[in-house]
Chain A
Amino acid sequence: LGIMAGKVKWVTDIEKSVLINNFEKRGWIQVAENEDWNFYWMSVQTIRNVFSVETGYRLSDDQIVNHFPNHYELTRKDLMVKNIKRYRKELEKEGSPLAEKDENGKYIYLDFVPVTFMLPADYNLFVEEFRKNPSSTWIMKPCGKAQGKGIFLINKLSQIKKWSRDSKTSSFVSQSSKEAYVISLYINNPLLIGGKKFDLRLYVLVSTYRPLRCYMYKLGFCRFCTVKYTPSTSELDNMFVHLTNVAIQRHGDDYNHIHGGKWTVSNLRLYLESTRGKEVTNKLFDEIHWIIVQSLKAVAPVMNNDKHCFECYGYDIIIDDKLKPWLIEVNASPSLTSSTANDRILKYNLINDTLNIAVPNGEIPDCKWNKSPPKEVLGNYEVLYDEEMAQSDGSDRDLRSRPGPSSGVKGTRARDLGKPVLTTWK
């Protein structure tokens, strides 16, 4: 029994206390990468190596890692958009009611990503779109970077001339994927609270893609800009107005180290319920859950659903002043740095609850298990979507099959999901 119930051996290449404290509190044993390990919390560079053709190696049944091999299908800005566009087209082709469009040609249920183009590839398509609305503002984001690095806003074609030159001259050496950009329609009417712009950071844990099983962490937070929001063109360069990334805001004059410009999602809910009413608030949160699940469904077919993997994503969502949520991006390695005391506690508990689900009972894992943790271990997670349960619940069609009466699908989608169980879509 002593040998069988051996301690989990862990490795990590991310030196963060919220991680290490969690491993140590479980009595797990730290080992080196080249030794026999059971659990490896790795950075995205490392996962690339583990699964690469040249340097990769097979994982054994008692080894778990915290990323899916091709997570970038979801977490790279350009690939995420590509997968969602592909997903929508497929649904449309099947005649699924989810792909229904309104009189302007916009998807009614699946329009949750701002209009986006890849540069330089789609430059001409972008120009066409830009000319339809010449007074619009667009946001340029490098595909491969994080923390707000390299982002800037434009409102004139001349500001991105560089990308046009490249696409016209085919003799140009093709840009490596690191220098590719996405350009998205900037949401210049964000919901403001206290006059300030904010975005939402939500944590979503995926234990398997096929069948899709995902959990949402109840304790997400809002990140506020320290400076009053203004869509004025004179302030397009002021990143303190526009970008909510803490990595950017913490350098502002008004950054506060006690609250870090963060609000809990429950504060947001209280504020919205009090000022806007319960129905629209519930609808907003339903929609947020919806777009997260749809984004995961979009990439599920192309994801390498390796049984050794789980992943905890950081979803960034912006709410506009019509209370419509927009998916901005998904992060594979959400920051584990703590900017305030509350932050540290939150991230510690996040990792704790994540490990409780991913590594049942804190014992040496067996990848053959069915990845169905009992309700008691969820902690602050709640089930966001469980494809298996949804299918076994009687009406066993998944979204790809011929739809039944469209009202049935719409009805389930719009149901009040304010309380715990969220797995009501079929």
Chain B
Amino acid sequence: FFISTGWEKKLQNAVYSELNVFPSPCHPAAPPEHMKEPLAYMRKAQGSWEKRILKSLNSMCTELSIPLAQKRPASEQKELLNKWNEMGTDEPDLSLFRPVYAPKDFLEVLMNLRNPNYENGEQPSFRNHLGLIQVPLKVKDIPELKEDFNELGLNTGQLGIDDSAQVPPEFFESEHVRVGQKVLAEQDSAAAQQYVRQGCPTALRADLWALILNISNQPEDILYYEQLKSNVIQHDLLVDSLIYKDVKLTASNDDYYFVFEDYLYQVLLCFSRDTSVLEHFTYSSATPPKSYIQGKRNFYKKRSGRFLLTTTVVPLNYNSFILSVAPLCFLYHEPSKLYQIFREMYVRFFFRLHSISSHPSGIVSLCLLFETLLQTHLPQLFYHLREIGAQPLRISFKWMVRAFSGYLATDQLLLLWDRILGYNSLEILAVLAAAVFAFRAVNLMEVTSLAAAE
């Protein structure tokens, strides 16, 4: 019965999905925080980073005399509902809002991370580590990476290379497409994940990603999205203005993504009210700042109660955030499906780019991986750039923190994200960043300043 109705497959997919995100087993006596993040100094760093952001947010509230959250008056609610599909044309005065932090602020924090148990009195040199990140995390070297990323080897066909116009389709492309269609017909998550390591055909990508992320857009999912939407209509959050401003600064000016500006507002405004995102924090030590709604004073005159409205999610630098939603607009044009795909991508991958942890796909490890690769294989280049005050990480950090969105043409970006999904890891971002430097090594050896290097 299970097999014939397809439920077996669905169960398998759901289990596989959970396995992907489940943290590895550890010592039974370990406390929950330890499970989320085993290194105490990392937890501490993340905690203080969050405090800093929250402080910044609160002071912005005070400065502008705007509460973190408030209920919208009925007329404003109605107006917003009418304009739901074209929020892009509404231009409130955003000049007083500033982004809570910039990528380089975050980089500064990462640079200053130190393991208190590790004595590193030595000056940075080729014998240890020349880069900006000075924590002793284990990162993979080339032989290990080669093994992990076996399917990206030169002898294996890849979409994006082996399907170009000069190559006859019989060589690789036709067969690959056929296999892809079969995988979709079978509705097998695990197979899909394996398949996309060689790239997705554009026509199959939307469905394959949904399969891997186990998103099926059921009626209850659509209902959930509608609830979030009504939440947006009813309550106004300070972060809404920050989102608005950041979308205007990034996506509206982008050659590829300006078309989808309105979708971005819809997705991000809903996302910042989505309490289900909290669940993912069971495997991350980050905790989002929560905002509470003040009841109307006359109603709550005799009470001092407040009630939890929503959470706002940690990465208040919406810049990176926005650019991780935008490419998805090329794949999904139904808002609720687009929303779910984004949310899933966020809780599986992208949040690691904004929080401090020791996870191999966390931004700290990625930075270290990048620097190590570069230092090991292009030592002359690394040294030269360092000497001219252009530490390579300063350039590549923003690429990685945005998963290259905004830095690659969309079709190439999607091929990159195929691999992120396929390998369930962000390590490929660091490898790509290092490869870019390798590719441009000759030119870079000749530059004499950070600006020129950029």
Residue ranges of A at the interface with B (Cβ–Cβ < 8 Å): 193-196, 224, 227-228, 253-254, 256, 258-259, 261-264, 266-267, 270-271, 273-275, 277-278, 281, 342, 419-420
Complex: how many Å from CA A160 to CA B258? 37
CB distance from B392 to the nearest CB of A (A): 28
> Digit string of B192-205 for contact with A (CB within 8 Å is 1, else 0)?
00000000011101
| B260 / chain A contacts, CB cutoff of 8 Å | 194
Cβ contact within 8 Å between A194 and B261? yes
Nearest opposing residue in chain A for B334, CB measure: A275
| B55 / chain A contacts, CB cutoff of 8 Å | none
| A266 / chain B contacts, CB cutoff of 8 Å | 411
| B241 / chain A contacts, CB cutoff of 8 Å | none
A256-B203 in contact given A194-B329, A270-B411, A275-B331 (Cβ < 8 Å): no
Pick from B86, B253, B410: contact of A267, CB below 8 A: B410
Other than A193-B259, A195-B85, give 13 A-B pairs with Cβ distance below 8 A. A194-B263, A228-B86, A253-B89, A267-B256, A270-B330, A271-B330, A274-B202, A274-B206, A275-B332, A275-B333, A278-B201, A278-B203, A281-B203
| A278 / chain B contacts, CB cutoff of 8 Å | 201-203
Complex: how many Å from CA A262 to CA B255? 7
Complex: how many Å from CA A196 to CA B260? 9
CB distance from B94 to the nearest CB of A (A): 15
Shortest 5 CB-CB contacts between residues of A and residues of B: A194-B259, A278-B203, A273-B202, A228-B86, A259-B255
A263-B259 in contact given A228-B85, A270-B410 (Cβ < 8 Å): yes
| A256 / chain B contacts, CB cutoff of 8 Å | 252-253, 258
CB distance from B186 to the nearest CB of A (A): 19
CB distance from B409 to the nearest CB of A (A): 9
Cβ contact within 8 Å between B86 and A195? yes
CB of B442 closer than 8 Å to a CB of A? no
Cβ contact within 8 Å between B89 and A227? yes
CB distance from B66 to the nearest CB of A (A): 25
CB of B254 closer than 8 Å to a CB of A? yes
| A196 / chain B contacts, CB cutoff of 8 Å | 259
CB of B315 closer than 8 Å to a CB of A? no
Complex: how many Å from CA A271 to CA B201? 13
Complex: how many Å from CA A278 to CA B263? 24
Complex: how many Å from CA A264 to CA B206? 21
Complex: how many Å from CA A262 to CA B333? 19
Complex: how many Å from CA A398 to CA B378? 62
Complex: how many Å from CA A195 to CA B329? 12
| A228 / chain B contacts, CB cutoff of 8 Å | 85-86, 89, 262
14 contacts between A and B (CB under 8 A): A194-B260, A194-B261, A194-B263, A195-B262, A228-B89, A256-B258, A258-B255, A263-B256, A271-B330, A275-B330, A275-B333, A277-B203, A278-B203, A419-B165
| B330 / chain A contacts, CB cutoff of 8 Å | 270-271, 274-275
CB of B88 closer than 8 Å to a CB of A? yes
Nearest opposing residue in chain B for A418, CB measure: B165
Q: Which residue, A258, A274, A281, has most C-beta atoms of chain B within 10 A?
A: A274
Nearest opposing residue in chain A for B205, CB measure: A274
List residues of B (322-344) whose CB comes within 8 Å of A's CBs.
329-333
| A281 / chain B contacts, CB cutoff of 8 Å | 203
Cβ contact within 8 Å between B203 and A274? yes
CB distance from B171 to the nearest CB of A (A): 14
Nearest opposing residue in chain B for A280, CB measure: B203
| A420 / chain B contacts, CB cutoff of 8 Å | 165
Complex: how many Å from CA A193 to CA B256? 12
Complex: how many Å from CA A263 to CA B263? 17
Cβ contact within 8 Å between B203 and A259? no
List residues of B (234-272) whose CB comes within 8 Å of A's CBs.
252-256, 258-263
Q: How large is the interface on B (under 10, 10 to 19, 20 to 34, 35 or more residues)?
A: 20 to 34
Complex: how many Å from CA A256 to CA B250? 12
CB distance from B221 to the nearest CB of A (A): 19
Cβ contact within 8 Å between A270 and B202? yes
Nearest opposing residue in chain B for A263, CB measure: B259
| A259 / chain B contacts, CB cutoff of 8 Å | 253-255, 258
Q: Which residue, B86, B262, B263, B331, has most C-beta atoms of chain A within 10 A?
A: B86
Nearest opposing residue in chain B for A252, CB measure: B89
Nearest opposing residue in chain A for B254, CB measure: A259
Pick from B85, B165, B253, B332: contact of A258, CB below 8 A: B253
> Digit string of B76-105 for contact with A (CB within 8 Å is 1, else 0)?
000000000110110000000000000000
Cβ contact within 8 Å between B331 and A224? no
Complex: how many Å from CA A262 to CA B256? 9
Pick from B85, B165, B253, B259: contact of A224, CB below 8 A: B259
Complex: how many Å from CA A420 to CA B330? 24
Nearest opposing residue in chain A for B329, CB measure: A194
| B333 / chain A contacts, CB cutoff of 8 Å | 275
| A262 / chain B contacts, CB cutoff of 8 Å | 255
CB distance from A7 to the nearest CB of B (A): 35
Complex: how many Å from CA A156 to CA B87? 32
Q: Which residue, A194, A267, A270, A273, has most C-beta atoms of chain B within 10 A?
A: A194
| B256 / chain A contacts, CB cutoff of 8 Å | 263, 267
Cβ contact within 8 Å between B88 and A254? yes
CB distance from B106 to the nearest CB of A (A): 26
| B203 / chain A contacts, CB cutoff of 8 Å | 273-274, 277-278, 281
Complex: how many Å from CA A270 to CA B260? 14
Cβ contact within 8 Å between A274 and B331? yes
| B258 / chain A contacts, CB cutoff of 8 Å | 256, 259, 261
Complex: how many Å from CA A256 to CA B411? 23
CB distance from B42 to the nearest CB of A (A): 38
CB distance from B167 to the nearest CB of A (A): 11
CB distance from A267 to the nearest CB of B (A): 6
| A194 / chain B contacts, CB cutoff of 8 Å | 259-263, 329
Complex: how many Å from CA A277 to CA B332? 12
List residues of B (104-132) whose CB comes within 8 Å of A's CBs.
none
CB distance from A246 to the nearest CB of B (A): 15
CB distance from B179 to the nearest CB of A (A): 15
| B89 / chain A contacts, CB cutoff of 8 Å | 227-228, 253-254
Complex: how many Å from CA A258 to CA B205? 30
CB distance from A363 to the nearest CB of B (A): 31
| A277 / chain B contacts, CB cutoff of 8 Å | 203
Complex: how many Å from CA A228 to CA B262? 10
Complex: how many Å from CA A213 to CA B255? 33
CB distance from B254 to the nearest CB of A (A): 7
CB distance from A412 to the nearest CB of B (A): 20
> Digit string of B393-418 for contact with A (CB within 8 Å is 1, else 0)?
00000000000000000110000000
Nearest opposing residue in chain A for B206, CB measure: A274
CB distance from B399 to the nearest CB of A (A): 20
Q: Which residue, A261, A275, A342, has most C-beta atoms of chain B within 10 A?
A: A275
Complex: how many Å from CA A264 to CA B409? 11
CB distance from B265 to the nearest CB of A (A): 11
| A254 / chain B contacts, CB cutoff of 8 Å | 88-89
Complex: how many Å from CA A420 to CA B166? 10
Cβ contact within 8 Å between B206 and A275? yes
Nearest opposing residue in chain A for B259, CB measure: A194
| B88 / chain A contacts, CB cutoff of 8 Å | 254
| A274 / chain B contacts, CB cutoff of 8 Å | 202-203, 205-206, 330-331
Q: Which residue, A253, A273, A278, A281, has most C-beta atoms of chain B within 10 A?
A: A273
Complex: how many Å from CA A270 to CA B333? 13
Complex: how many Å from CA A228 to CA B88? 9
Nearest opposing residue in chain A for B201, CB measure: A278
Complex: how many Å from CA A193 to CA B258? 11
Nearest opposing residue in chain A for B261, CB measure: A194
List residues of B (261-306) whose CB comes within 8 Å of A's CBs.
261-263
Q: Which residue, B165, B258, B331, B410, has most C-beta atoms of chain A within 10 A?
A: B258
CB distance from A249 to the nearest CB of B (A): 13
| A263 / chain B contacts, CB cutoff of 8 Å | 255-256, 259
> Digit string of B179-222 for contact with A (CB within 8 Å is 1, else 0)?
00000000000000000000001110110000000000000000
Complex: how many Å from CA A196 to CA B263? 12
